[in-house]
């Protein structure tokens, strides 16, 4: 066999290096030529749409083939139950950490913003979309009008419901549906083949998205709000390395090795400011670790809605920031009310840009003393904070999937450490 040419390896770096180069180029272009950088936005939007068009098909194929391939149907309910309990505990802990971080670091203190002078119109569109959602409304939202409707809208939970039902149906039908199951297995391979092709454009998408962000908002726009951004990043880093690190250690693997294993996905999400484009490759990597296809297909898509750790920290922290910045005193009861409401509203904020901001507006409306117009203070830097919360969301879902797989004894700690190494 001919040994690889080192020159060839130099000119074709790994995907993580390519994304890093794209990020560096985007920052330089955004700083030196803002107008040109803003014009790069379609590159980022096009890449996100390319991935979005295939996500629902990936979820459907993965979940259906995974469930239909499970001999024990009780495992599906058991995995789903364990995952939901994990999501609730960890995301609630993230909300609490955001609340504590806001009270300890006081990112809004000294801002002294005049609520009457703020541009309420800038938040009006988000406020119109933010409304309280009852339990019955949430449950009804899970059910699409038609099967096709779930896929055309791209609603992850609706697609997941259809996929689970279809998987159960194929499993109960037995050998008669084996030809259909074989076809779906082949389709799954083809779909992930498409993902591999599309991921070659990840550096271009990362460049376009980040160039637009730097070009439009500029590094100078961070000035007075750098304390809020810094607080979010600090609490997020502590959450990943301490909370998720302890969870990973108890599950038998190291958080640093896991982060290194998904470094391409981390860089992509940081640049794109959305966790959804990284979902297909994250699922593929988790399967390579030893997690079953059915478990990955159930836990990851569900986690993108129910396990939003980064968004949870952002919501309580940002709510306290607005109150502090507008000199609005909050009682312990009011802070706990924000915490309790955020437990519900954070569940609707997935990796899509803007969803977390809408959920935050919905949360703040329960405390009338906090001026919702104060949200205009952080609207301009929301994209920078979205980079952080989307990345934590994605990391949290990866850790959750491995933990549930360990609970299910699908892979040993030794095998997991070897695969991560």
Q: Where are the domains of the chain?
A: 13-420
Angle at 26 between CA 375 and CA 9, to 5 degrees: 140
Alpha-carbon gap, residue 258 to 398, rounded angstroms: 9
What pLDDT is stored for residue 348 in this prediction?
A: 57
Alpha-carbon gap, residue 316 to 96, rounded angstroms: 8
CATH number of 13-420: 1.10.3860.10
What pLDDT is stored for residue 250 in this prediction?
A: 93
Among residues 377, 349, 372, which one has the least CA distance to residue 156? Answer: 349
pLDDT in tens, the chain (421 residues): 444 454 444 445 677 788 888 888 988 898 888 889 899 989 988 888 888 888 888 888 888 888 887 766 777 788 888 999 999 999 999 999 999 999 998 888 877 777 666 655 656 555 555 555 555 666 777 788 888 888 887 777 788 888 888 888 888 877 788 888 889 889 988 988 898 898 888 889 889 888 888 888 776 656 667 888 899 999 999 999 999 999 999 998 999 999 999 999 999 898 888 888 888 899 999 999 988 888 888 888 888 888 889 989 998 998 899 888 888 888 899 899 889 888 877 775 554 455 677 777 777 777 778 877 777 777 767 778 888 999 999 999 999 999 999 998 888 888 888 888 7
What pLDDT is stored for residue 5 in this prediction?
A: 52
Alpha-carbon gap, residue 177 to 53, rounded angstroms: 27
Cα 160 from chain centroid (whole Å) = 17
What pLDDT is stored for residue 407 in this prediction?
A: 92
Among residues 17, 383, 356, which one has the least CA distance to residue 214? Answer: 383
pTM of the model: 0.83
Note whether 161 and 393 are within 8 A (CB). no
Alpha-carbon gap, residue 96 to 88, rounded angstroms: 12
Alpha-carbon gap, residue 47 to 205, rounded angstroms: 5
Contacts of residues 177-186 at CB distance under 8 Å and 24 or more positions apart, as own/partner, are 177/68, 181/65, 181/68, 181/69, 184/61, 184/64, 184/65, 184/68, 185/65
Number of continuous H segments (helices) and E segments (strands) in the chain:
23, 0
Angle formed by the axes of helices 41-69 and 156-173, nearest 10°: 30
Among residues 218, 258, 221, 267, which one has the least CA distance to residue 240? Answer: 258
Among residues 75, 49, 71, 93, which one has the least CA distance to residue 299? Answer: 75
What pLDDT is stored for residue 308 in this prediction?
A: 86
What pLDDT is stored for residue 158 in this prediction?
A: 84
Q: Is the dihedral of CA 235, 237, 239, 243 positive or negative?
A: negative
């Amino acid at each position: 066999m001919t040994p690889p040419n080192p020159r060839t390896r130099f000119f074709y770096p790994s995907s993580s290096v390519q994304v890093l180069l794209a990020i560096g180029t985007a920052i330089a272009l955004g700083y030196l030529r803002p107008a040109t950088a803003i014009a790069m936005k379609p590159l980022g939007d096009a890449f996100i749409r390319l991935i979005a068009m295939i996500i629902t098909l990936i979820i459907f194929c993965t979940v259906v083939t995974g469930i239909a391939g499970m001999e024990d149907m009780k495992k599906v309910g058991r995995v789903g139950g364990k995952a939901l309990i994990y999501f609730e505990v960890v995301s609630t802990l993230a909300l609490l950490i955001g609340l504590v971080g806001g009270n300890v670091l006081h990112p809004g203190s000294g801002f002294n913003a005049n609520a009457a002078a703020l541009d309420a119109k800038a938040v009006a569109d988000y406020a119109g979309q933010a409304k309280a959602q009852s339990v019955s409304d949430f449950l009804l939202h899970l059910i699409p009008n038609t099967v096709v409707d779930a896929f055309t809208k791209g609603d992850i939970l609706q697609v997941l419901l259809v996929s689970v039902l279809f998987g159960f149906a194929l499993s109960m039908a037995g050998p008669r549906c084996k030809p259909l199951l074989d076809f779906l297995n082949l389709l799954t391979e083809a779909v992930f083949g498409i993902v591999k092709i599309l991921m070659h454009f990840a550096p271009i998408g990362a460049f376009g998205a980040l160039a637009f962000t730097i070009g439009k908002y500029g590094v100078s726009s961070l000035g007075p709000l750098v304390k809020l951004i810094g607080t979010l990043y600090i609490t997020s880093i502590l959450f990943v390395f301490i909370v998720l690190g302890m969870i990973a250690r108890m599950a038998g693997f190291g958080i640093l090795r896991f982060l290194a294993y998904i470094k391409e996905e981390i860089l992509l999400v940081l640049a794109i400011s959305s966790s959804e484009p990284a979902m297909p490759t994250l699922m593929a990597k988790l399967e390579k670790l030893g997690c079953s296809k059915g478990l990955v297909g159930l836990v990851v898509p569900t986690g993108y809605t129910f396990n939003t750790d980064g968004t949870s920290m952002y919501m309580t922290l940002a709510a306290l920031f607005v109150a502090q910045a507008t000199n609005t005193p909050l009682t312990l009861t009011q802070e706990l009310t924000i915490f309790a409401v955020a437990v519900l509203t954070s569940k609707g904020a997935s990796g899509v840009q803007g969803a977390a901001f809408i959920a935050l507006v919905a949360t703040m409306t329960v405390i009338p003393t906090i001026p919702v117009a104060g949200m205009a203070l952080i609207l301009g830097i929301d994209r920078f904070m979205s980079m952080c919360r989307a990345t934590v969301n994605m990391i949290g879902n990866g850790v959750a999937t491995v933990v549930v797989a360990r609970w299910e004894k699908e892979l040993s700690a030794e095998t997991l450490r070897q695969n991560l190494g």
